[in-house]
Amino acid sequence: MAYSEDYRQMILSKLEEGDSFRKLAAEYQLSPVTIQRWKKNPKRKQRVFLPLKIDNQKLIEDVATYPDSYQA
């Protein structure tokens, strides 16, 4: 589950105010390790989605270039 940057900043600001990792983890039902990771890197990771299918034009070119190859 991905949390918004606003939510992360709110929890990190409470951490800076003096709350402990354990208290925040119990209050917001998070893992203390998650909060520690947010402290190291508060920005969300960008997910990279790779295409699941081969482009038709590239497939046609590959078959034309290597007609005897086994296409799995």
Q: How many residues does the chain have?
A: 72
pTM of the model: 0.60
Tell me how far apart the alpha carbons of residues 51 and 59 are, in angstroms, rounded to a whole number: 14
The answer to whether 11 and 26 have CB atoms below 8 angstroms apart is no
Name all contacts of 41-46 with Cβ < 8 Å and 24+ positions apart. Answer: 42/5, 42/8, 42/9, 42/12, 43/5, 44/2, 44/3, 44/5, 44/8
Ordered per-residue pLDDT tens for the chain, 72 residues: 688 889 999 999 999 999 999 999 999 999 999 999 999 988 888 888 887 888 889 888 988 898 887 766
- Give the residue among 48, 34, 39 at the shortest CA–CA distance from 13: 39
pLDDT at residue 72 in the model: 62
pLDDT at residue 45 in the model: 80
